[in-house]
């Protein structure tokens, strides 16, 4: 049964987008797009805006802003692989394995260039300040960067592993049909991680609206949220019962803002990026908004690496799987110094063994056909095996089974779709109010 608000918005937007989706084919060239941006103050055309707001029910085929590199391009020799990624989001040991496997091309790798949030990454890419071979965007920036000509189209012949190994849902994702610019990297859900020694499983699973536990005054000063506007505001939306987590409706966002400001009053949360995988296991938080992969990797950051201590880490996600579910991508920036090597790397990361080994360290699950969800809670990952100083841990600890992502989750879950510029402004306004610490009391 749809929420009354959903239907009202859905119909008008669906019609509107259906009308203009056809024009995606007859798109003006990129030069024209950029030329239109020359005079400040002139609004971009409707077609261009539509590309930037794909929805699962109105997918988007991004325009080709150039030709992918030819299939017979040789791998660059003596290259230094440049990766642009979140902090701690790819296992360096796996990258070094890639370097070793391609030793004949004399490539090297020293460090990952990191960013603290996607806005910072996009700002640096837009300014042309970073020259990366591979970039790990969230799905909402893929259309924006593709339209702006900052990503290059992928040559599918060089990445055979995608069609072989990856879930069907990603053969034609809604935000990048025909996977022209991106491949999926990891899949995850967004729930709440909690300390099982402070809050029992029954307590949180038994609540009528478990999202409310983040507003519980008995956990004051011990609650964390992500320093990411999409994830935190969407949590407030979900707590208020609004399921369109990519809404641009000012009323909905007003509700979310009020919820967030009351959270400041009641609970004094802290905004972090490492709160769930590092600080909650270390005892600094009792509750934290969490991506499933963060808490799955949490066992690596506990003070004492015993099974008993692992049992203190828990994860909650709606049992009917109606919650935020999403994926991250890998893409190749347009100014990549070594595009052929980048393709090779992407194909390497989509290989089952490499992806699973990376998963064992990063905690984030790859959407591969052979990764049977049922086995993930029973098999010990490579990272755990090589960590002699820690007691064994499965890919996903059995008592946080909710952290395992299944392909069926994508049928019922909510996706974090890209926002239109006006909607983005409103979301940013709400975020600013939250970050400024302006409480409803004063």
Residue (5 or 270) nearer to another protein, CB: 270
Q: How far is the CB of 308 from another protein (least distance, A)?
A: 17
Residues 224-243 that bind another protein (CB under 8 A): 227
Q: Say which residue the tokens 């077609």 belong to.
A: 47
How far apart are the C-alpha atoms of 368 and 375, rounded to whole Å? 13
Tell me the C-alpha distance between 54 and 171, whole Å: 16
Dist CA 428 CA 172 (whole Å): 30
The interface region with another protein, picked from 11-19, 127-135, 180-188, 368-376 by CB under 8 A, is: 127-135
128 binding another protein? (CB under 8 A): yes
The smaller minimum CB distance to another protein, of residues 253 and 368, is found at: 253
In the list 97, 124, 322, 406, the residue contacting another protein (rule: CB under 8 A) is 124
Residue 115 or 348: which CB sits closer to another protein?
Answer: 115
Please report whether residue 126 would count as binding another protein according to CB under 8 A.
Answer: yes
What x-and-dash track marks residues 21-40 binding another protein by CB under 8 A?
------------x---x--x
Query: What is the nearest approach in angstroms of another protein to the Cβ of residue 330?
Result: 18
CA–CA separation, 307 and 298 (whole Å): 12
CA dist., res. 192 & res. 276, Å (int): 9
Q: Under a CB-based contact definition with an 8 Å cutoff, are residues 139 and 326 in contact?
A: yes
State which residue, 83 or 166, has the beta carbon closest to another protein. Answer: 83
Structure tokens given for 200: 């029992």
- Per DSSP, what are the bridge partners of residue 188? 326
Q: What are the backbone angles phi and psi of residue 345, rounded to the nearest 5°?
A: -65, -40
Q: Is 127 in the site for another protein (CB under 8 A)?
A: yes
- The total of other beta-carbon atoms located within 10 Å of residue 34's CB is 12
Residue of 55, 65, 81, 88 that binds another protein (CB under 8 A): 88
What lies within 8 Å, CB to CB, of 203 at 6+ separation is none
Quick one: 64 or 130, whose CB is closer to another protein? 130
Least distance from another protein to the Cβ atom of residue 116, Å: 7
Residue 12 has phi, psi (to 5 degrees) of: -65, -40
CB of 36 to another protein, least distance (A): 8
CB of 130 to another protein, least distance (A): 6
Query: Is residue 113 within the footprint of another protein (CB under 8 A)?
Result: yes
CB of 433 to another protein, least distance (A): 6
The site for another protein, by CB under 8 A, has a size of 67
Q: Which residues, other chains included, contact 161 with Cβ-Cβ below 8 Å and sequence gap of 6+?
A: 347, 350, 351
The span of 4-12, 158-166, 201-209, 428-436 binding another protein (CB under 8 A) equals 428-436
Kindly state the smallest distance separating residue 47's Cβ from another protein, in Å: 12
Out of 35, 93, 207, 375, the residue judged to bind another protein by CB under 8 A: 93
Residue 426 belongs to what H/E stretch? helix 421-435
Contact range with another protein by CB under 8 A, out of 53-61, 144-152, 184-192, 201-209 = 144-152
Q: Is the separation of the CB atoms in 298 and 280 below 8 Å?
A: yes
Q: Can you tell me which of 122, 236, 355, 400 binds another protein, judged by CB under 8 A?
A: 122
Nearest-angstrom CA–CA distance, 182 and 137: 9
75, 102 Cβ separation under 8 angstroms: yes
Query: Any bridge partners for residue 183, and if so which?
Result: 330
How near is the Cβ of 205 to another protein at its closest, in Å?
27
In this structure, the strands spanning 112-115 and 134-135 are: unpaired
What is the DSSP annotation of 29-72? PHHHHHHHTTSTTPPPPHHHHHHT--BTTB---PPP-SPPPPTT
DSSP calls for 355-403:
HHHHHHHH-PBP-BTT--HHHHTTSB-HHHHH-TTS---BSS-GGGGGG
> 182: which strand partners?
331
Q: Which is nearer to another protein, 285 or 395 (CB)?
A: 285
- CB closer to another protein, 302 vs 350: 302
CB 424 → another protein: shortest distance, Å? 7
Q: Which residues contact another protein by CB under 8 A?
A: 33, 37, 40-44, 48, 52, 82, 87-88, 92-93, 110-114, 116-117, 119-120, 122-124, 126-132, 144, 147-148, 221-222, 227, 264, 268-274, 277-278, 282-284, 301, 303, 421, 424-425, 428, 432-439, 442
């Amino acid at each position: 049964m749809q929420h009354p608000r959903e239907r009202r918005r859905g119909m008008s937007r669906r019609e509107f987008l259906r009308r203009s989706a056809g024009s995606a084919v007859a798109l003006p060239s990129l030069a024209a797009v950029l030329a239109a941006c020359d005079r400040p103050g002139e609004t971009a055309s409707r077609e261009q805006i539509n590309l930037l707001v794909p929805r699962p029910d109105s997918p988007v085929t991004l325009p080709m802003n150039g030709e992918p590199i030819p299939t017979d391009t040789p791998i660059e020799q003596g290259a230094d692989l440049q990766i642009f990624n979140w902090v701690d989001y790819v296992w360096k040991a796996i990258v070094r394995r890639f370097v070793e496997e391609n030793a004949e091309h004399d490539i090297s790798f020293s460090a990952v260039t990191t960013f603290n949030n996607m806005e910072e990454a996009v700002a640096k890419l837009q300014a042309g300040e970073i020259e990366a071979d591979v970039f790990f965007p969230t799905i909402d920036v893929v259309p924006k960067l593709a339209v702006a000509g900052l990503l290059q189209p992928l040559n599918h012949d060089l990445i055979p592993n995608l069609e072989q190994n990856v879930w069907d849902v990603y053969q034609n994702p809604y935000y990048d049909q025909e996977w022209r610019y991106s491949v999926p990297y990891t899949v995850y859900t967004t729930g709440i991680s909690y300390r099982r020694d402070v809050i029992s499983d029954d307590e949180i699973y038994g609540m009528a609206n478990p999202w409310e536990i983040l507003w519980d005054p008995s956990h004051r000063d011990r609650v964390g949220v992500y320093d990411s506007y999409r994830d935190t505001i969407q949590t407030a939306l979900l707590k208020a019962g609004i399921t369109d987590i990519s809404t641009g409706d000012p009323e909905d966002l007003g509700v979310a803002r009020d919820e967030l400001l009351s959270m400041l009053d009641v609970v004094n949360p802290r905004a972090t990026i490492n709160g769930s995988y590092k600080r909650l296991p270390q005892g600094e938080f009792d509750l934290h908004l969490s991506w499933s992969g963060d808490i799955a990797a949490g066992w690596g950051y506990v003070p004492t690496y015993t099974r008993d201590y692992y049992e203190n880490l828990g994860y909650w996600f709606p049992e009917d799987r109606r919650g935020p579910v999403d994926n991250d991508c890998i893409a190749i920036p347009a100014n990549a110094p070594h595009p052929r090597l980048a393709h090779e790397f992407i194909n390497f990361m989509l290989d089952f063994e490499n992806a699973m080994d990376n998963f064992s360290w990063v905690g984030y699950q790859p959407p591969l056909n052979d990764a049977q969800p049922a086995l993930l809670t029973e098999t010990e990952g490579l990272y755990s095996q090589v960590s002699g100083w820690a007691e064994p841990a499965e890919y996903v600890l059995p008592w946080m089974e909710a952290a395992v992502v299944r392909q069926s989750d994508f049928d019922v879950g909510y996706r974090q779709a890209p926002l239109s510029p006006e909607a983005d402004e409103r979301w940013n306004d709400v975020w600013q109010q939250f970050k400024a610490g302006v409480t409803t009391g004063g």
